Amino acid sequence: MTNAQDKLLLARGHLADVLEAWHEPTDWKDLSVYGFHCLEAAIDAASMRVGLPTSRSHWKRVEVAMELHGSWGLPDVSELLRGLNDARKSHLYGDIPDPGMDAEDVASRIEEYVNAVEQLLTGTP
C-alpha cells in the first residue's frame, strides 16, 4: 500500500471484520487482531494525508495517533491501540492477561476513527 486512499481501503476491509466479530458471542481473537490492524492502517492513512512519517512500529503509531489527535482533531485512539495490542497478545499467545475491554465500545470507537480518517482524506464533514 503506497498511498493514503489504499490504506483507508485496507482499514475499511478490516473494519468489516471488526463489526462482524464483536457480536455475541464476541470472537475476541478476531476482534483484537482486526481491530488492531484496522487502527494501524487508518493511522497510516491519516499520517500520509497530513505529511507525518509512517512507521511499522506499533509504539511509533501510538505516538502518531496522539499527534493526529492533538494537531488534526482526530479521536484519540492511542490507549485503544495499546489495549487492542494487549488483547491480541492475550488471545493469540496467552502470555498476558486479557485487558477486559467492552466489545461494543471497541467496535464503535474503531468505526468512529475510520470514519474520521475518511473525512480527513476527503475533506467532507
Q: Which three cell numbers stand for residue 54?
A: 509512517
Give, for all 125 residues of the chain, the pLDDT tens digit.
Answer: 579 999 999 999 999 999 999 988 999 999 999 999 999 999 999 999 999 998 888 889 999 999 999 999 999 999 999 999 999 999 999 999 999 999 999 999 999 999 999 999 998 76
Angle between helices 58-72 and 28-50 (to 10 degrees): 60
Q: Which three cell numbers stand for residue 3?
A: 498511498
Q: Which three cell numbers stand for residue 108?
A: 464503535
- Report angle CA 76, 81, 86 to the nearest 5 degrees: 145
* Report field, pTM of the whole predicted structure over 0.85: yes
